[in-house]
Amino acid sequence: MTVSEIIIVGDTPGLEWRLPVFHFKGSEPEAPRTYIQSALHANELPGTALLHFLLERLRQAGSEGGILGDITVVPQANPIGSAQSHFGDLQGRFDLGTRTNFNRDFPLIALGERPGLVEDIDRHTAADRLKRRLLHMALGAELVLDLHCDDEGLQYAYLDEAFWPEAADLAAALDMQAVFLSDGESSAFEEAVAYAWKHEGAGERKTLLQGRLSVTVELRGTRDVYPDMARKDADGLYRFLAGRGVVAADRQPLPAFGGVVAPLDNIEMVRAPESGAILFHRDIGESVKAGDLLATIITRPGMADGAMEVRAPQDGLIVTRVSTRFARRLSDLMKIACAGPSRAARKPGTLEA
Ligand SMILES: [Zn+2]
Q: 19 lies in a domain?
A: yes
Q: 348 lies in a domain?
A: no
Count: domains in the chain: 2
Percent of the chain's residues with pLDDT above 90: 92
Q: 343 lies in a domain?
A: no
Whether residue 158 sits in one domain with residue 72: yes
Ligand 1 midpoint to CA 149 (Å): 6
Percent of the chain's residues with pLDDT above 70: 99
Q: What distance in Å separates the CA atoms of residue 41 and residue 123, rounded to the nearest whole number?
A: 24
Residues β-bridged to residue 311? 293
Whether residue 145 sits in one domain with residue 95: yes
Q: What distance in Å separates the CA atoms of residue 193 and residue 174, rounded to the nearest whole number?
A: 21
Residue 73 pLDDT > 90: yes
How confident is the prediction for the chain on average, in pLDDT?
A: 96
Q: What distance in Å separates the CA atoms of residue 74 and residue 122, rounded to the nearest whole number?
A: 22
Whether residue 290 sits in one domain with residue 235: no
**Size of the chain, expressed as the number of residues it contains:** 353
Mean pLDDT to the nearest integer, 45-72: 98
Q: What distance in Å separates the CA atoms of residue 146 and residue 149, rounded to the nearest whole number?
A: 10
The model's confidence at residue 93, banded by pLDDT at 50, 70 and 90, is very high
B/e letters for 149-165, b = 16+ CB within 10 Å, e = fewer, are: bbbbbbbbbbbbbbbee
Domain of 9 in residue numbering reads as 2-258
Whether residue 311 sits in one domain with residue 249: no
Q: What distance in Å separates the CA atoms of residue 196 and residue 317, rounded to the nearest whole number?
A: 33
CATH assignment at residue 333: 2.40.50.100
Provide the pairing of β-strand 155-160 with 152-153. Answer: unpaired
- Residue 127's identity, in one-letter code, is A
Give the CA count within 13 Å in the CB-facing half-sphere of 197. Answer: 26
Ligand 1 midpoint to CA 41 (Å): 5
Ligand 1 midpoint to CA 219 (Å): 10
Ligand 1 midpoint to CA 196 (Å): 21
Q: 136 lies in a domain?
A: yes
pLDDT in tens, 222-256: 999 999 999 999 999 999 999 999 999 876 788 89
Ligand 1 midpoint to CA 151 (Å): 9
Ligand 1 midpoint to CA 75 (Å): 14
Ligand 1 midpoint to CA 78 (Å): 11
- Name residues with Cβ closer than 5 Å to ligand 1, which is an ion: 41, 44, 148
Whether residue 240 sits in one domain with residue 125: yes
The model's confidence at residue 201, banded by pLDDT at 50, 70 and 90, is confident
CATH assignment at residue 28: 3.40.630.10
Whether residue 104 sits in one domain with residue 63: yes
* pLDDT value of residue 271: 97
* pLDDT value of residue 189: 98
Burial (CB < 10 A; 0-12, 13-18, 19+), residue 114, is: middle
Q: 345 lies in a domain?
A: no
Whether residue 219 sits in one domain with residue 320: no
The model's confidence at residue 98, banded by pLDDT at 50, 70 and 90, is confident
Q: What distance in Å separates the CA atoms of residue 162 and residue 210, rounded to the nearest whole number?
A: 8
* pLDDT value of residue 37: 98
Whether the Cβ atoms of residue 317 and residue 336 lie closer than 8 Å to each other: yes
Ligand 1 midpoint to CA 61 (Å): 29
Run of H or E including 51: helix 46-63
* pLDDT value of residue 326: 98
Whether residue 246 sits in one domain with residue 302: no
Ligand 1 midpoint to CA 233 (Å): 17
* pLDDT value of residue 253: 81
Residue 350 pLDDT > 80: yes
Ligand 1 midpoint to CA 177 (Å): 18
Residue 115 pLDDT > 90: yes
Ligand 1 midpoint to CA 338 (Å): 22
Whether residue 191 sits in one domain with residue 149: yes
B/e letters for 21-30, b = 16+ CB within 10 Å, e = fewer, are: bbebebeeee
Choosing from 206, 231, 258, the residue where a domain stops is: 258
Whether residue 289 sits in one domain with residue 192: no
Choosing from 258, 285, 313, the residue where a domain stops is: 258
pLDDT in tens, 137-182: 999 999 999 999 999 999 999 999 999 999 999 999 999 999 999 9
Whether residue 290 sits in one domain with residue 248: no
Whether the Cβ atoms of residue 315 and residue 344 lie closer than 8 Å to each other: no
Residue 268 pLDDT > 90: yes
Whether residue 268 sits in one domain with residue 283: yes
The model's confidence at residue 211, banded by pLDDT at 50, 70 and 90, is very high
Residue 346 pLDDT > 90: no
Ligand 1 midpoint to CA 251 (Å): 31
Mean pLDDT to the nearest integer, 246-275: 92
Residue 85 pLDDT > 90: yes
Among 28-37, 175-184, 199-208, 275-284, where is mean pLDDT lowest?
A: 199-208
Q: 135 lies in a domain?
A: yes
Mean pLDDT to the nearest integer, 270-293: 98
Ligand 1 midpoint to CA 39 (Å): 7
Choosing from 258, 290, 322, the residue where a domain stops is: 258
Closest CA to 213 of 179, 186, 260: 179
Ligand 1 midpoint to CA 339 (Å): 25
